[in-house]
Chains A and B, each alone.
Chain A
């Protein structure tokens, strides 16, 4: 009889919401292998037919189970298998088998996800930069800036990134960049700098970075790019990198015009050079100065070799420095300069271990808080029939809020967790109001008591929501997660879970 009374529309809706949230969060226990997070274009993995669909859910990433018949059960297993120097890789995933050359493999892997909740930077570690352009931009320039930046990071090889436009109350525009893998220094170099490349002869600019002037840049190909020499110099070592580029016809013509009337000098070794060299500048700093062979005078040469030095205390450091600089220079030559120079106004880097500490910690803190609530409630009412449903409702509110955030593809951060805790907190308050109204001796029918309780709850709900709305729009959205999860949580509470609670309590107490 009693059990039957429980099944009403309110309970049905609550159960439906819980099921949908579980479906969205999709907790899985089968976590074998390593998950394929991204595949580089033009890599052997891509040629073998591996793809990662855009918008794939974390739990639906393809997982590598075996490489060359070796079982892969951790990231270490994976790197060992890749570094084993086998000529061919036979990769078996949970879907099919791929055969590819062990050269420029181009797969990024990660531990398999145990659910679909997207963990924000604070929980998984990584670097976040808040960047502000130093001058006022038009809408078009702003868009170009975001596009160029994204392109630059992609060309550089950073795959897992989030690039968001953001603005604040005062109308300032910002860009938020979040990168899971990159280090802070790389971010500073790659996006904090405008990347204005200029090749000058004397005061004349011959060409700039970007596809308008530079039609091809050789990378990752030893025949036309690489470190050419390393020498001991004063105080350390210096290595010289070199790579080929192809100029557009217009840029080549410009070079021909500038060099047409130049004199020819002869160096000590007897080489003939034009009187002025080709000077390379990156963000107004000199990168290198290249002598121009005399036979190029007045010619529209399209193939040019760019070079520059890397230095370090040891030969290894110099080699690394040269490699880094080459990669960066290649990147800006391909992607061109950003439309304005930039200032990094906020830069966070969170180590992955600190992130996972925070995550585990927030979960336990929330559980303990709910436990504390249950204890107080039990002391007050002395009835498990009240405190157990209350814990159940509080947990469902947290779960449904998490489920909705997951469906919205929101990256869960600490602010959002605080918001969920806050929403659950107001939920407990509301449930106390409901319980006391239902228990009250006032001679009214149940419906009236329910209405009275929900009058109070609804006003409290309205004040909570309106006081969160300004935060949704302010502070470049850094604390948006807080407002968002609070609003979702209290809304679900008032319209779904708390009415269900009122019904459960009514049925359970109506002995």
Chain B
């Protein structure tokens, strides 16, 4: 069987790929936070046909560091408005300046503002939430499998998913909001599914050869991951609300990484472990 050839000869080398990915993440890379996590304002103007670049350069000629994005409608893919974010400038100031350039009614205007101290503590708490969630997940895994190496392999795969996804996000310069951090909670959940399936099949089942069971779990697991990937990809394409878009994007990236971390990383460690035990 092909699968057997690939894995039997190379599983130690295959393990290197996720490890390299882990090592490649930019050292000291930080999470680029958006205004909801570092304080500031986010304003949404719902008006069709506003020119993003023009308004961005206009605002940035007056103030520093103003981020302008387009709000898109899903079905028509039309630009239905702009989202303007800033951490330093007062809302009224920007609103006033903007009115010199664009006309908009109060009904077309939405805004969120966050105080810097609150956002800072909010961010810290979300990171804590992520850490707690991870510890609880690890406990469940450890109690389920009750063996050190296989449990560690599952947890390592989840860590890889989170860290590599974070690295990719920061590489592209995406800013992460509160919703984005919660997406990582989902990443934990989605990433673990396939690892549990794999570990159960390899360690607890006795029917069929090791590689047959590996093959089955890859088939099932890949179906799971690919359906999820297509769902979040479609979700990403069709959402207007930026929180939803961000959540879908993060899960999308993490699921792709998960294929590597599960079937190269976790699977290789398990094969190694099973062979050693024999």
The smallest beta-carbon distance between B261 and chain A, in angstroms, is: 16
A442 to chain B, nearest CB (A): 5
A343 within 8 A of B: yes
Q: How many A-B contacts are there with CB distance less than 8 Å?
A: 227
27 contacts between A and B (CB under 8 A): A168-B121, A168-B125, A346-B112, A351-B44, A354-B46, A361-B239, A368-B234, A368-B237, A373-B231, A422-B189, A426-B189, A428-B228, A429-B190, A432-B223, A432-B224, A433-B224, A436-B216, A436-B219, A455-B200, A456-B197, A469-B132, A471-B129, A475-B122, A475-B125, A475-B126, A476-B122, A478-B122
| Residue of A361, A373, A417 touching B240 (CB-CB under 8 A) | A361
- How far is B244's CA from A171's CA once the two chains are assembled, in angstroms? 29
The answer to whether the Cβ of B233 comes within 8 Å of any Cβ in the partner chain is yes
Q: How far is the CA of A348 from the CA of B178 in the complex (A)?
A: 15
Contact of B111 among A130, A132, A349, A442 (CB under 8 A): A349
Q: Which of B14-61 contact A (CB under 8 A)?
A: 44, 46
A-side interface residues toward B, CB under 8 Å?
122, 125, 130, 132, 168-170, 172, 183-184, 343-354, 357-358, 361-362, 364-366, 368-373, 375-377, 380, 414-415, 417-418, 421-422, 425-426, 428-429, 432-433, 436, 440, 442-444, 452, 455-456, 459-460, 462-464, 466-471, 474-476, 478-479, 482-483, 486
B180-202 contacts to A (CB < 8 Å):
182, 185-186, 188-190, 192-193, 196-197, 200
Give the CA-CA distance A1 to B196 in the complex, in Å. 37
Selected from A130, A353, A444, A478, the residue in CB contact (under 8 A) with B46 is A353
Say yes or no: A417 contacts B244, CB within 8 Å. yes
> B107-128 toward A: CB 8 Å interface, digit per residue (1/0)?
1111111110110011001101
Residues of B within 8 A of A (CB): 44, 46, 73-75, 80-81, 106-115, 117-118, 121-122, 125-126, 128-129, 132-134, 136-137, 139-141, 144, 178-179, 182, 185-186, 188-190, 192-193, 196-197, 200, 205, 207-208, 216, 219-220, 223-224, 226-228, 230-235, 237-241, 243-244, 247
Q: How far is the CA of A280 from the CA of B256 in the complex (A)?
A: 66
Q: Using Cβ atoms and an 8 Å threshold, which residues of chain B touch A482?
A: 179, 182
Q: A418 and B178: CB pair below 8 A?
A: no
- The answer, among A172, A362, A479, for a CB contact under 8 Å with B179, is A479
Q: Which residue of chain A has its CB nearest to the CB of B116?
A: A345
Contact assessment for B192 and A471 in the assembled complex, using a CB-CB cutoff below 8 Å? no
Besides A349-B112, A351-B109, 14 other A-B contacts (C-beta < 8 A): A348-B111, A350-B110, A351-B46, A352-B107, A353-B107, A365-B74, A365-B235, A369-B235, A372-B227, A373-B231, A414-B241, A442-B207, A456-B200, A471-B133
Query: What is the bound-complex CA distance between A373 and B126, given in angstroms?
Result: 31
Check A364 against B74 for contact (C-beta < 8 Å): yes
Known: A429-B227, A467-B188. A349 touches B193 (CB 8 A): no
**Within the complex, what minimum Cβ distance (angstroms) separates B77 from chain A?**
12
Q: Is B46's CB under 8 angstroms from A357's CB?
A: yes
Is there contact, CB below 8 Å, between B114 and A169?
Answer: no
Given A172-B121, A372-B230, A460-B192, check contact A470 B129 (CB 8 Å): yes
Chain B residues with CB below 8 A from A459, complex form: 140-141, 144, 196, 200
Partner of A415 from the list B110, B179, B220 (CB cut-off 8 Å) is B179
